[in-house]
Amino acid sequence: MNTIQLPSITPIDHVAVEEKVGRLNKRSIKKESKVLALKMALSMMDLTTLEGKDSEGKVRQLCQKAKQPHPAMPDLPHVAAVCVYPSMVRVAKKALTGSDINVASVATAFPSGMAPLSVRIDDTRFAVDEGADEVDMVISRGAFLQGEYQQVYDEIAAIKEACGKAHLKVILETGELHTYENVRLASDIAMQAGADFIKTSTGKISPAATQPVTLVMLEAIRDYYYATNKMIGMKPAGGIRTAKQALQYLVLVKETLGAAWLTPDYFRFGASSLANDVLMQIVKQQTGSYQSGDYFSLD
Partner 1 sequence: MSERIEVLKTYKTYVGGAFPRSESGHYYKVFDSEGDLLANACMCSRKDVRDAVKAARGAFKSWNSRTAYNKGQILYRIAEMMETRRGQFEEELSKIGFTAEEAKADVNASIDRLIYYAGWTDKYQQVFGSVNPVASSHFNFSLLDATGVVAIMAPENSPLLGLVSVIAPVIAGGNVCVVLASEQYPLPSISFAEVLHSSDVPGGVINILTGKKSDLAEHFASHMDVNAIFYTDKLDNEMAKQIDELASNNVKRVVKKPVEDWYASDAETPYFIMDFQETKTTWHPVGF
**Smallest separation (angstroms) from partner 1 to the CB of 26:** 15
**Smallest separation (angstroms) from partner 1 to the CB of 164:** 46
Question: Site mask, partner 1, residues 254-293, x = CB under 8 A?
Answer: ----------------------------------xxxxxx
Q: Is 235 a catalytic residue?
A: yes
Nearby residues of 189 by Cβ (< 8 Å), 6 or more positions away:
4, 139, 144, 149, 152, 153, 156
| Residue 294 contacts partner 1 per CB under 8 A | yes
Count the alpha carbons within 13 Å of 47 in the hemisphere toward its beta carbon.
Answer: 29
Nearer CB in complex with partner 1: 256/281: 281
**Smallest separation (angstroms) from partner 1 to the CB of 283:** 9
Nearer CB in complex with partner 1: 64/291: 291
Integer Cα distance of 75 and 188 in angstroms: 39
| Residue 28 contacts partner 1 per CB under 8 A | no
Q: How many residues bind partner 1 (CB under 8 A)?
A: 8
Nearer CB in complex with partner 1: 229/292: 292
Integer Cα distance of 146 and 298 in angstroms: 42
Nearer CB in complex with partner 1: 125/284: 284
Q: Is 204 a catalytic residue?
A: no
Integer Cα distance of 27 and 15 in angstroms: 19
Provide DSSP, 148-179.
-HHHHHHHHHHHHHHHTTSEEEEE--GGGT-S
Annotated catalytic residue: which of 136, 154, 188, 277?
A: 136
Q: According to DSSP H, which parts of the chain are helical? A: 14-25, 31-43, 56-67, 89-95, 117-130, 141-145, 149-163, 180-193, 211-228, 243-257, 274-287
Name 267's bridge partners: 234
Nearer CB in complex with partner 1: 52/288: 288
| Residue 100 contacts partner 1 per CB under 8 A | no
| Residue 26 contacts partner 1 per CB under 8 A | no
**Smallest separation (angstroms) from partner 1 to the CB of 72:** 12
Annotated active-site positions, please?
136, 199, 235
Question: What residues make contact with partner 1 under the rule CB under 8 A?
Answer: 288-295
